[in-house]
Each structure stands twice: as C-alpha cells, then as structure tokens.
Structure 1
Amino acid sequence: MKTLPAVTIAVTTGAALGGIAVHNLEAQARPPAFVISEIEVTNPDAYAREYVPFANKALADSGQKRLASGGRTVALAGAPPASRVVVSMFESMDMAQAAYQSPAYLEARKIGDQYGKLRIFAVEGLPR
C-alpha cells in the first residue's frame, strides 16, 4: 500500500515538470517583436511634459522593454532618421500590436499627435 503514494507523487511531479518544459518551449518558439518609432517633434517642451509620461506608462504596462530612446542617431544609408527615435522590444508581435492599440496608449497618442509627427512600425525578430 505504500507504493500508491509514491506513484502518485511521481506522476504529479512528472506532469508538473512536463508542463514547465512545454511552456518554456512555446515561449522560445515565439519570436520577439521590435517596434521602431521615428518622431519629428514640433513642440519639445509640451511633447516631453504632456505626451511622454502617459505614453511611457501605457507601453510599459503592456510589456514594452525600451532599448533605445532619443539618443544620438547616425544615417548609414538613405534618408536621415527623424529627430527622435525609440526602439522597443515586446515578447511577440501580438503583444506589440496590443500595446499600441490599447485604450491607454491611444489616449496618450491623441496628445502626442498635437506635438509631433509619429511613424511607428514593428518588425518580427528571429526566434530565441
């Protein structure tokens, strides 16, 4: 009768480990998404004060990992980049699209559109 508890523990442990392994494999199979924003800021003070805090919060709450934001840019080929460039990463393309379509970001964007011209696009990364 002592083998039944041991078998039950072994089966439960095996199922849990299997579930963790499957979750990790699924997470690795989904490629990340990189979002590139080019912004021609027309009113830097209002843009920084009224738009940036709300947009940053909305996107961070949606899983954004900011990789570059407004630093020095250099044209390597073609037209020069906009005056402000932001590069972000999301766990998947679905998450990136959801972030930029979220009610919180869309509200922030109404403000941002008053102080700059934004061009935002996403590119799917290589699987991790």
Structure 2
Amino acid sequence: MRPKFESVMIMLAGVAIGAIAVQGLHAQGAKLKAYVISENEILDASAQAAYLPTARNLIAEAHGRALRTAGGRVVQIEGGAPPKSAALTEWDSVDDAVAFYKSKAWTDLAPQRDKAVKVVRRYAVEVEK
C-alpha cells in the first residue's frame, strides 16, 4: 500500500513541477505592452487637423492604438511645467513602437508633421503585467 502512495505523490509532484516550468517558459516569451508619450507643441492647428488622420491610420496599420489625446488638456500635478500638448499611443511592445517610429512610412510623414507640430520629446514606457 505504501509504495503505491509514494508513486502517486511522486507523480503528482512531477506534474506540478512540469506545470510550473511550462508557465515560466510561456511567461518568458510574452512581451510587455508599451505606451509612447509624445510631448508636442502645436505649430499650426489646420495643418495638425490634416496630419492627424494620416498619422492615426499609419499607427493603426502598424497595430498601434492612438488614444486620441492630441487635443486633450494637459494638467500639471507635480514637477515642472507640463507640455502644451501630449499624445499617447498603445503598442503591443516597445520593439513594435520603436520599429514603427523608425519606419519609412513614419519618416515619409515628417514634412507634414513638421508643419503641424514640434515634437518636444517622444518616449516609450513598458507596462508591467
């Protein structure tokens, strides 16, 4: 009777260790979601109105999600002065975001963007699970 009990316990321990190992390996391959924050200064509101739909379409085609904050208020809570305008974009990973902002499609949009807004700063932030 005792050997059967030990065998069952060893088998259950093996299953548990295997499940933990598989979960750990799966988690290692998962990329963390990222948000890109663009701090902007609007140069020409009409140029921005023409530029935004094109920029948003390019972002969507690259599987990014523009959170449509370009016209929203930016309110200081702590620290230095806030930017005049901020845009947030959600990406599946920092790598996807960086690849998009270095892409030919985004680079080709630069002349139109430069008429509409001055990018003060743009950066990506990874979100922990």
Deviation at 1:55, TM superposition (A): 1.1
SS of residue in 2 equivalent to 1:59: helix
TM-score after normalising by structure 2: 0.70
SS of residue in 2 equivalent to 1:123: strand
SS of residue in 1 equivalent to 2:67: strand
User: How big is each residue's C-alpha offset from its partner over 1:78-116, in whole Å with a ceiling of 9 and x where there is no partner?
Assistant: 223222211111111110011111211111122111232
Letter of the 2:54 partner, please give it. Answer: F
Check whether the contact 1:37–1:87 (CA below 8 A) recurs between aligned residues: yes
Map 1:88-99 → 2, pairs under 5 A: 88-99=89-100
User: How big is each residue's C-alpha offset from its partner over 1:47-100, in whole Å with a ceiling of 9 and x where there is no partner?
Assistant: 211x21221111111111223513122101122322221111111111001111
C-alpha separation between the residues in 1 aligned to 2:35 and 2:27?
19
TM-score after normalising by structure 1: 0.70
1:112 aligns with 2:104: no
Q: 1:52 to 1:93 in 2, by over 3 A?
A: same
Alpha carbon RMSD of aligned pairs, Å?
Answer: 2.2
- Bigger radius of gyration: 2
Equivalenced residue count is: 104
SS of residue in 1 equivalent to 2:97: helix
SS of residue in 2 equivalent to 1:89: strand
C-alpha separation between the residues in 1 aligned to 2:68 and 2:77?
17
SS of residue in 1 equivalent to 2:111: helix
Q: Identity across aligned pairs (percent)?
A: 32
Check whether the contact 1:35–1:87 (CA below 8 A) recurs between aligned residues: yes
SS of residue in 2 equivalent to 1:104: helix
Q: Which residue of structure 2 aligns with residue 63 of structure 1?
A: 63
Q: Which residue of structure 2 aligns with residue 32 of structure 1?
A: 33
C-alpha separation between the residues in 2 aligned to 1:61 and 1:27?
27
Check whether the contact 1:38–1:82 (CA below 8 A) recurs between aligned residues: yes
Structure 2 spans left out of the alignment, 5+ residues: 1-21
Structure 1 spans left out of the alignment, 5+ residues: 1-20
Check whether the contact 1:55–1:109 (CA below 8 A) recurs between aligned residues: no
